[in-house]
């Protein structure tokens, strides 16, 4: 990186002029926040209402080698235009035009950091800075064109997103965040308006507030947008990179339920919600999976020390980066299915079923990743064959499990009788019995799986505290049996979800994008 003052000079900015000018205080029309000492927060809120007013009466500026056309949007310091490169292929780009006279020292620092970051990062889920230029009036950032608009408009057009679509989007955001986190870069203004769509691919954009921050670095300046801003930014005026995790939680919440958790009718109500100690709750009747609920509530912990960590976030089962659609998905699936076929030929039904299910977890994202229609359809037909074989094995394994379970019924009855002096152990056994009964009635869903997992959690604790003896032996065998049933049920659910995904005529994200474009 070269010297900042040199950068100011080559961009035609008078650094000394900044040192001599004192900006007059900005007074919001509603002073509830400023009376509480949050003038900057109030300004940030009211900046939203001012957007679109700046530069609206001006024609697009002229830029060598580019033809600027429609205005896409404007903010406090910049206006974004769609443009075409003046070449034979007329490449479409987005041009962010920053007026020099609108910049103060802090905003110029932010702009230079944005340019530094975007010039050095290359990632499929981060918008690419192709070039930047300047003249006597403006600074121009020439950016990758994303034809699908932003995530905010996409969510509004759909009202709410199905969980599996929200999950596919979340995986892409997490993938970009992991890349940035490894480079000690924090975005600090994550929100749906700053996430762009290009086909079915999400890209993080607008790095105007981004900073290089190591895990132990802290900031105190107000950054971000109030609806998506972590509470510690306002309440403590001291924060670190974990604020990005809070913002991801708000984005996921809005995608699933159609509104942000702090959605308010007034600025006073918004401030009250930000400053409250009340834990974030999901809307009444929210129907989301156990993993999704767990992730949401851990991301939206008000206390950053209680919030999920970056490492935990990247490894969370709902994020599931291991099974994210990528160029490697198909190779992983093929490797696993070869092992499955081998075990199948050897008559090892349970092992073969497990490997088929693992392969399918990579085949589905491979189908989503494939862009060629013929190859996609051929892959879908092949996957349907593996699903059919997995269904056959599932029936065989279920029959074996039933026989084994019935044989151990007498031992199970003895264990219950021996556990009457242990209420928690008895309750866990009852919960497991309820799960077994639900499964026997054909109720093979996440609620039943959750009952298995809860009972196993209690039974494992009881086993750890149980002394050597007959009851410990019976308990150990019961836990092994229940683990086997829970694992089988998990595979049942996975096969059913795979059948749903594979049978879809269209990729769920791509279809949603097309629908939203029609609605807009």
Bind-site residues for ATP: 96
DSSP 187-254: -S---GGGEEEETTEEEE---TT-EE--TT--B-S--S-GGGS-HHHHHTS-B-TTHHHHHHHHHHHH
Size of the chain in residues: 520
Q: Please give the structure tokens belonging to residue 218.
A: 């802290």
Contact 466/476 with Cβ under 8 angstroms?
Answer: no
Residue 109 CB contacts under 8 Å (≥ 6 apart), including other chains: 4
Residue 321 neighbours by CB distance under 10 Å: 14
CA-CA distances (angstroms) from residue 493 to 117, 382, 395?
42, 20, 14
Contact 60/69 with Cβ under 8 angstroms?
Answer: yes
53: which DSSP letter?
Answer: T
Q: Please, which residues bridge with residue 264 across strands?
A: none
| Catalytic annotation present for 320 | no
Residue 354 CB contacts under 8 Å (≥ 6 apart), including other chains: 487, 491
CA-CA distances (angstroms) from residue 434 to 415, 427, 467?
16, 11, 27
d(C-alpha 180, C-alpha 182), whole Å: 5
CA-CA distances (angstroms) from residue 34 to 273, 364, 425?
16, 52, 56
DSSP 438-469: HHHTT--SHHHHHHHHHHHHHHHHHHHHPPSS
What is the Cα gyration radius of the chain?
28
Q: Please give the structure tokens belonging to residue 393.
A: 């094995």
CA-CA distances (angstroms) from residue 486 to 76, 426, 436, 444, 492?
54, 19, 9, 10, 10
d(C-alpha 177, C-alpha 61), whole Å: 34
d(C-alpha 286, C-alpha 158), whole Å: 17
Contact 474/411 with Cβ under 8 angstroms?
Answer: yes
150: which DSSP letter?
Answer: B
Contact 90/84 with Cβ under 8 angstroms?
Answer: yes
Kindly name the residue from 189, 206, 344, 501 that is annotated as catalytic: 189
Binding residues: 96
Per-state percent for the chain, helix, strand, coil, to nearest 5: 55, 10, 30
Contact 292/316 with Cβ under 8 angstroms?
Answer: no
Contact 363/383 with Cβ under 8 angstroms?
Answer: yes
Residues with catalytic roles: 189
């Amino acid at each position: 990186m070269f010297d900042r003052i040199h950068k100011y000079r080559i961009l035609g900015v008078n650094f000394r002029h900044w040192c001599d000018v004192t900006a007059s205080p900005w007074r919001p029309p509603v002073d509830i926040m400023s009376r509480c000492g949050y003038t900057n927060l109030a300004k940030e809120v009211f900046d939203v209402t001012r957007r679109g007013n700046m530069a609206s009466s001006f024609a697009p500026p002229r830029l060598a080698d580019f033809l600027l056309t429609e205005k896409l949007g404007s903010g406090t310091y910049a206006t974004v235009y769609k443009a075409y490169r003046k070449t034979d292929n007329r490449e479409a780009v987005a041009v962010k035009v920053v007026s020099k006279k609108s910049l103060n020292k802090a905003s110029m620092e932010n702009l230079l950091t944005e340019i530094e970051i975007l010039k050095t990062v290359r990632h499929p889920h981060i918008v690419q800075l192709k070039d930047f230029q300047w003249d006597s009036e403006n600074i121009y950032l020439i950016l990758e064109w994303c034809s699908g608009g932003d995530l905010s408009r996409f969510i509004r057009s759909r009202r709410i997103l199905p969980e599996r679509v929200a999950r596919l989007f979340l995986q892409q955001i997490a993938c970009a965040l992991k890349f940035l986190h490894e480079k000690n870069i924090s975005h600090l203004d994550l929100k749906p308006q700053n996430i762009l769509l290009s086909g079915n691919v999400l890209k993080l954009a607008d790095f105007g507030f981004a900073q290089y921050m190591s895990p132990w670095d802290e900031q105190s300046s107000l950054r971000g947008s109030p609806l998506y801003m972590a509470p510690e930014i306002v309440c403590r005026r001291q924060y670190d990179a974990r604020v990005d995790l809070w913002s991801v939680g708000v984005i996921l919440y809005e995608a699933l339920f159609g509104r942000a958790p702090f959605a308010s009718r007034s600025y006073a109500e918004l401030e009250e919600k930000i400053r409250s100690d009340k834990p974030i709750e999901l809307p009444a009747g929210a129907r989301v999976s156990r993993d999704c609920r767990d992730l949401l509530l851990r991301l939206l912990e008000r206390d950053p020390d209680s919030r999920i960590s970056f490492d935990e976030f990247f490894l969370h089962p709902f994020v599931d980066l291991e099974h994210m659609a990528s160029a490697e998905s198909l190779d992983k699936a093929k490797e696993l299915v070869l092992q499955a076929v081998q075990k199948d030929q050897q008559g090892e039904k349970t092992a073969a079923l497990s490997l088929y299910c693992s392969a399918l977890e990579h085949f589905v994202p491979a189908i989503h990743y494939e862009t060629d229609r013929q190859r996609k359809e051929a892959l879908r037909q092949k996957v349907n064959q593996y699903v059919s074989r997995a269904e056959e094995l599932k029936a065989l394994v279920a029959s074996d499990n039933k026989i084994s379970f019935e044989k151990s019924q007498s031992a199970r009855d003895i264990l219950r009788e021996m556990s009457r002096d242990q209420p928690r152990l008895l309750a866990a056994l009852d919960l497991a019995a309820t799960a077994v009964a639900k499964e026997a009635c054909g109720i093979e869903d996440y609620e039943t799986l959750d009952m298995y997992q809860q009972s196993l959690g209690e039974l494992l604790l009881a086993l750890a505290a149980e002394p050597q003896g007959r009851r410990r032996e019976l308990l150990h065998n019961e836990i092994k049996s229940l683990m086997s049933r829970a694992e089988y049920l998990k595979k049942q659910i996975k096969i059913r979800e795979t059948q749903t995904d594979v049978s879809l005529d269209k990729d769920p994200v791509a279809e949603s994008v097309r629908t939203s474009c029609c609605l807009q």
